[in-house]
Amino acid sequence: MTYTLEGRTGAWEIVCGLEVHAQVISKAKLFSGAATAFGAAPNTQVSFVDAAFPGMLPVINRECVAQAIRTGLGLKAEINLWSRFDRKNYFYADLPAGYQISQYQHPIVGRGEIVIDLADGTTRTIGITRLHLEQDAGKSLHDQHPTKSYIDLNRAGVALMEIVSEPDIRSPEEAGAYLAKLRQILRYLGTCDGNMEEGSLRADVNVSVRRPGEMYRTRCEVKNVNSIRFVMQAVEAEARRQIEVWESGGEVQQETRLFDPNRGVTRPMRSKEHAHDYRYFPDPDLLPLELDPAWIAELKAHLPELPDAKAARFQRDYGLSAYDARVLVAEQATADYYEAVARGHDPKQAANWVMGDLFAALNRTGRSIADPPVPAASLGRLLDLIADDTISGRIAKQVFEEMVETGADPVAIVEARGLRQVTDTGAIDAAVAQVLAAHSDKVAEYKSGKDKLFGFFVGQVMKAMAGKGNPALVNEALKRALS
């Protein structure tokens, strides 16, 4: 089913592609040894190369190249053994060299793909056109002085991967799912931290609309959208704007726009007449990048298991549903935690505890799965106590809450609070007799055919035993007493 937007004159389809700038995780910049840590004081991480002092020469950082190759492999893309750096010339105050070193005609990574997961459980494959390496620019600070702008060059020269998709995206949901999946893959690979608030991942969204069955119409680019939710909103807002233009007899002009999240609309930034002529040419200071296939093979051999493969394995090895597997592999740390609990325990039960009680505890305490209030080993010991009938599932919920509160071990909590399940049939029979005596009217109703009352008796016996009666034994004792 193709997603369409309804205009005044009929249905419209969305055609969308994303260009994502992902900051490479590396200690040093793409062409200099300066540090890349986020949040450092302005201009404390700037080398002469980054500041474009005359005569300074760029030297390629091998780790940044490795990160681009890993990312390409993770996107099932072709790695180009020969690529080249070009100069993209433009003037801006935060670009001291007057050009950005980028890869124009010969990117390091070619065609690949991402399988996106949609809310209805289906998947779609979105093509990757290319991935290239380039430098980031510095940052202009306009809010530090009443009449002056300041320049911070800490970010200047930091390695970026620009990842360009095919125009395969057909709805706001798909745009969000694409960015979410790309971010997830990058985080698994350890090639970008995916932190959109800090600007480590920024999306430019290309949108056009068309009548179903048509070829492409003119597109507009919405620049620098910095959250998954805003990407979805920007696609929808820009598509609706274009539909309105076409339907009122106008023509969409190719231009660059900005999304205003407060008003939920896009507004023009620059039109095609003002488009830059970047005068690209090969950077004479850098040799073409030639890769050794053996190095690529080595990087490939050390790639981590990626989310799709992990989710498939969780379904196969642990018998999980597709939905549960997808939730548990969302973050590498969640998957690791789950596997630590699932090993040696019932995997479905482990999944329920992680996705239910643990996730709720993380929400409540504001902790992350990487720093959980209950370590995986402790949750495992709690499941052991259920498995060997020391406590019931219901008591286990109480014990878990106390583990979250105090960090204590489940075995210690059960002993200290006397929560051991009662399996002594004498004590259970006594509780049953007491309950039936107190509810002789209900016993009569039950015996005259009101079977549903059995659950009521179970509840009353459990209550009388402070929840500690072994549920199976309580059931047996009640059946015996009522027959």
Provide the binding-site residues for Mn ion, judged by CB under 5 A.
Answer: 162
Least CB distance to Mn ion at residue 191 (A): 17
Provide the H-helix boundaries in 329-392: 332-342, 347-353, 359-365, 376-387
Least CB distance to Mn ion at residue 36 (A): 17
Query: If DSSP codes are grouped into helix, strand and coil, which group holds residue 82?
Result: strand
- Considering beta carbons, is residue 102 or 392 the nearer one to Mn ion? 102
Least CB distance to Mn ion at residue 32 (A): 19
Residue of minimal Cβ distance to Mn ion: 162
239-265: string of b/e by CB count within 10 Å (b at 16+)?
A: bbbbbeebeeeeebeebbbebeeeeeb
Least CB distance to Mn ion at residue 159 (A): 12
Least CB distance to Mn ion at residue 21 (A): 6
- Considering beta carbons, is residue 162 or 389 the nearer one to Mn ion? 162
Least CB distance to Mn ion at residue 102 (A): 6
- Considering beta carbons, is residue 95 or 404 the nearer one to Mn ion? 95
- Considering beta carbons, is residue 137 or 428 the nearer one to Mn ion? 137
Phi, psi dihedral angles at 219 (to 5 degrees): -110, 160
Longest dimension (CA), the chain: 100
- Considering beta carbons, is residue 223 or 300 the nearer one to Mn ion? 223
Q: Which of 169, 145, 155 is nearest to 32 (CA)?
A: 155
C-alpha distance from residue 270 to each of 32, 94, 375 (Å):
33, 19, 52
- Considering beta carbons, is residue 202 or 367 the nearer one to Mn ion? 202
Contacts of 474 (CB under 8 A, 6+ apart): 428, 431, 432, 458, 461, 462, 465
Half-sphere exposure of 345 (CA within 13 A, CB side): 26
- Considering beta carbons, is residue 162 or 285 the nearer one to Mn ion? 162
367-398: string of b/e by CB count within 10 Å (b at 16+)?
A: eebeebbbbbebbbebbebbeeebbbeebbeb
Residues in the chain: 483
Q: Which of 414, 401, 395 is nearest to 361 (CA)?
A: 401
Which residue's entry shows tokens 């878990």? 400
- Considering beta carbons, is residue 162 or 193 the nearer one to Mn ion? 162
Least CB distance to Mn ion at residue 162 (A): 4
Least CB distance to Mn ion at residue 100 (A): 8
**Token digits for 365?**
């305490």
Phi, psi dihedral angles at 304 (to 5 degrees): -75, 165
Least CB distance to Mn ion at residue 221 (A): 12
For strands 159-165 and 220-225, give the pairing.
Answer: unpaired
C-alpha distance from residue 351 to each of 73, 320, 328 (Å):
30, 8, 8
- Considering beta carbons, is residue 131 or 478 the nearer one to Mn ion? 131
Which residue's entry shows tokens 């109480």? 398
